[in-house]
């Protein structure tokens, strides 16, 4: 008998592999800065930190298909969102800080072009 392949499992692993290459913009409340890393790098780093019992306060705030998209978001975040959040942080009004972040990211998502998948647009 020939080998049987589970196509749904194969699709899952292909999707997972692609997801690991997505870029994540993270924000550190304590350091007041952003970081851009792949999802794979973040997960590997988190596993190492757990093994050593070390925590990190970086929080994922955006997920992007390219480094350039992540960089654009990070720069926007640092130039527009962070200054407003710093003003609010002085008063420790965390709800307002979260509102600043949410408002800016919602406007970024609204203005973002939808992902153009060439494989769905190709004629067969």
Distance CA 117, CA 29 (A): 35
* Residue at 55 is within a domain: yes
pTM attached to this predicted model: 0.67
Which residues span the domain enclosing 55?
19-112
* Residue at 94 is within a domain: yes
Please write the tens of the pLDDT for every residue from 52-103.
998 888 989 888 889 998 998 888 888 877 777 666 666 656 676 677 677 7
Residue pair 103/91 in contact by the 8 Å Cβ criterion: no
Classified as helix, coil or strand, 58 is strand
Tokens of 95: 């709800």
Give the count of domains, the chain.
1
* Residue at 54 is within a domain: yes
* Residue at 32 is within a domain: yes
* Residue at 1 is within a domain: no
* Residue at 13 is within a domain: no
* Residue at 9 is within a domain: no
């Amino acid at each position: 008998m020939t080998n049987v392949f589970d196509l749904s499992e194969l699709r899952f692993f292909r999707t997972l592999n692609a997801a690991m290459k997505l870029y994540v913009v993270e924000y550190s409340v304590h350091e007041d800065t952003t970081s851009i890393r792949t999802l794979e790098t973040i997960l590997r780093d988190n596993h190492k930190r757990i093994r050593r019992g070390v925590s990190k306060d970086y929080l994922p705030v955006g997920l992007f298909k390219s480094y350039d998209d992540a960089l654009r978001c990070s720069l926007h975040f640092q130039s527009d969102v962070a200054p407003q959040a710093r003003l609010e942080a002085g008063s420790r009004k965390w709800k307002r800080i979260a509102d600043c972040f949410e408002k800016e990211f919602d406007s970024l998502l609204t203005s973002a072009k939808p992902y153009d998948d060439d494989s769905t647009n190709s004629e067969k």
